[in-house]
Structure 1
Amino acid sequence: MIASLTEQEDLNFLLTNRIPRAALTRFMGWFSKIENPFVRDASIACWRLFSDLDLSEAKKTEFKSLHDCFTRELRPGLRPVDPDTSVVASPSDGIVGAHGRIQDTELFQIKGAPYSLLDLLGDPALVERHRNGRFLTLRLTSSMYHRFHAPFDCRIERVTFVHGDVWNVNPIALKRVERLFCKNERAVIETRLPTGEALTLVPVAAILVASIRLHFLDLTLNAQSRGPNVFPCDAGVHKGDELGWFEHGSTIIVLAPDDFEFAAGVTEGARVKAGEPLLRKPSP
């Protein structure tokens, strides 16, 4: 008998969440960095078997490890950045999830599942800068290009790393776990646009992936990170500059000013690539 959709979703949730998430994530972090040809080849072959992994765009044809493959660079020119100065470009490849206007300080992980800016960001001052603004969620699957880039010319002012859980961030988990993005490990990257407005990126970690590399701080943030959780910085970046990477698939939440509108073709379920338009500031 063919299992119902609900039964399939229940099984998916059980296999990807009702397990020792943190321990499995730590193990995967260690295992993925093993530089052994047999381990590397077997791991990548298994990954291909269960996903739509396509390495034809990769800059390299040989990888040292599974981790090296996860965090692969692409051949130059494959992610051209929209040059329009009114456009906020996608920081990564991804699938568009929930998006829309922030209702006062409330946004959604899926329809009917709200969470608050304060729970996500933890900073009342930053919440005020995004009150009634725009939000968009980008989900990266395990097989996608995992590096993320500056969506606009801007100045990065501060990064706050929030320790947390490592729930799966797929749509099945988002339907079952309230305020999931506010529970998982995440980095809050505060940037300032040339106009003075706030544009904030929130890379959210997930099971198997709880490591976020940020080049401009020369740091990899994860459960083993110690010391300060708030990192003041003053880094100017141009649209398209590489900011860092995830170690596996995950999510980026984009928070934009209220005077930006969503670009044509940005609909839930749409696939976008790094550099393509996400939002646009209307002409005066």
Structure 2
Amino acid sequence: MKYRDRQGREYEQTTSQDSFLAAAYSSAMGRALMKFLGCPIFSKCARVILDSKFSVPFIFGFAEKNGIDMFDYEERMYRSFNDFFTRKIKPGRRFITKDKNLLVSPSDGKVTAYKITQSDTFIIKNAVYNTASLLRDSKLAKRYEGGYAVIIRLSVDDYHRYCYCADGVKSHNRKINGILHTVNPVVNNYLPVFKENSREYCMIRTEQFGDIIQMEVGALMVGRITNLHTEGGVKVTKGEEKGYFEFGGSTILLLLEKDKVKLCDDLLKNTREGFETKLLQGSVLGESLK
């Protein structure tokens, strides 16, 4: 994987997980195995284990292996591995600007940004995505022609609670059931992950940025999405907690309307050059064009 941070520093890292997934998805047998592992029944079994007290001994080794700085998080005893994975960060460890004209990242993660064509599509590696199939709503998808799709990929070392990216009024949540592929970028060479994975989204009606779709996508293993507000007509504020993911790498996807947001140049440049941009929750993604 190739990353850049906001200062332009470059990192290239291939983990054992990256190598395993590349090998698995490059063969028909491997893809069949990974499809089985992505079935909801497998994730339910994994959840039982990770919700139990017997998973507590895994926490220390996991944190150490993935370089998780526990100083950032609340100090307490964890009842299970998932209790640890959904831990809360200490106040002040993520900065959310109060400037209403700045759009922020709802989570930690690795970011890429893609233009949505007039035919409602955008391309990630070899996978072509159609916003109508992504949303399961062709009328709603038309609203985002010529806009942008911003993808924030969370890996296991990231903070897995997420917030609202802007002030506004949210719609009701829509859930789309599916399987749970890994969201590792290598898989986009073989499968349209975001069209097949379980996901949940709402629309946030804002004054500064138009109507934003904020979608949470589950991933391999557990990938459970827990949103705190499921009803519509709720006023929300930028930085307010929206929900959290349980164990597994996950993704948040933002759909932005045409001519509503000027995305930061580094996000677009890095994406064109094959890099993901590493950032933290609250980092600025763009500014209002109003």
Q: Structure 2 residue aligned with 1:212, among 225, 231, 234?
A: 225
Match of 2:5 in 1: none
- Normalised TM-score (structure 2): 0.82
Match of 2:182 in 1: 168
Match of 2:44 in 1: 26
Q: Structure 2 residue aligned with 1:150, among 164, 175, 179?
A: 164
**C-alpha separation between the residues in 1 aligned to 2:175 and 2:22?**
31
Give structure 1 stretches of 5+ with no counterpart: 1-5, 218-231
Match of 1:80 in 2: 95
Match of 2:284 in 1: 277
Match of 2:56, SS state, is helix
Q: Give the deviation of 1:154 after TM superposition.
A: 1.0
Partner deviation per Cα, 1:166-211 (whole Å, 9 max, x = no partner):
111101212221x210001000211111258210011110112331
Match of 1:31, SS state, is helix
Match of 1:222 in 2: none
Q: Give the deviation of 1:7 after TM superposition.
A: 7.1
Match of 2:254 in 1: 254
Q: Assess if the C-alpha contact under 8 Å between 1:90 and 1:277 holds in 2.
A: yes
Match of 1:47, SS state, is helix
Q: Structure 2 residue aligned with 1:55, among 67, 70, 73?
A: 70
Matching residue's letter, 1:263: C
Match of 2:71, SS state, is coil
Matching residue's letter, 1:239: K
Query: Within 5 A, what are the aligned runs for 1:1-284?
Result: 9-11=21-23, 13=25, 14=30, 17=34, 19-22=36-39, 23-36=41-54, 39-41=55-57, 43-48=58-63, 50-97=65-112, 99-104=113-118, 105-108=120-123, 110-177=124-191, 179-194=192-207, 197-217=210-230, 233-248=232-247, 249-259=249-259, 260-266=261-267, 267-268=270-271, 269-282=276-289
**C-alpha separation between the residues in 2 aligned to 1:199 and 1:134?**
10
- Normalised TM-score (structure 1): 0.84
Q: Give the deviation of 1:245 after TM superposition.
A: 0.4
Match of 2:149, SS state, is strand
**C-alpha separation between the residues in 1 aligned to 2:19 and 2:174?**
38
Matching residue's letter, 1:94: G
Q: Would the alpha carbon gap of residues 125 and 195 (structure 1) be closer, same or farther in structure 2, given more than 3 Å must change?
A: farther
Match of 2:252, SS state, is strand
Matching residue's letter, 1:270: T
Q: Give the deviation of 1:264 after TM superposition.
A: 4.3
Task: Tell me the number of residue pairs that the alignment of Structure 1 and Structure 2 aligns.
Answer: 258
Q: Give the deviation of 1:107 after TM superposition.
A: 1.3
Matching residue's letter, 1:81: I
Q: Give the deviation of 1:21 after TM superposition.
A: 2.4
Match of 1:158, SS state, is coil
Q: Assess if the C-alpha contact under 8 Å between 1:155 and 1:192 holds in 2.
A: yes
Match of 2:234, SS state, is strand
**C-alpha separation between the residues in 1 aligned to 2:184 and 2:52?**
27
Matching residue's letter, 1:262: L
CA RMSD of aligned residues (A): 2.2
Q: Would the alpha carbon gap of residues 9 and 27 (structure 1) be closer, same or farther in structure 2, given more than 3 Å must change?
A: closer
Match of 1:244, SS state, is strand
Q: Assess if the C-alpha contact under 8 Å between 1:130 and 1:198 holds in 2.
A: no
**C-alpha separation between the residues in 2 aligned to 1:28 and 1:60?**
26
Q: Give the deviation of 1:33 after TM superposition.
A: 1.1
Percent of aligned pairs sharing the same letter:
24
Q: Would the alpha carbon gap of residues 80 and 195 (structure 1) be closer, same or farther in structure 2, given more than 3 Å must change?
A: closer
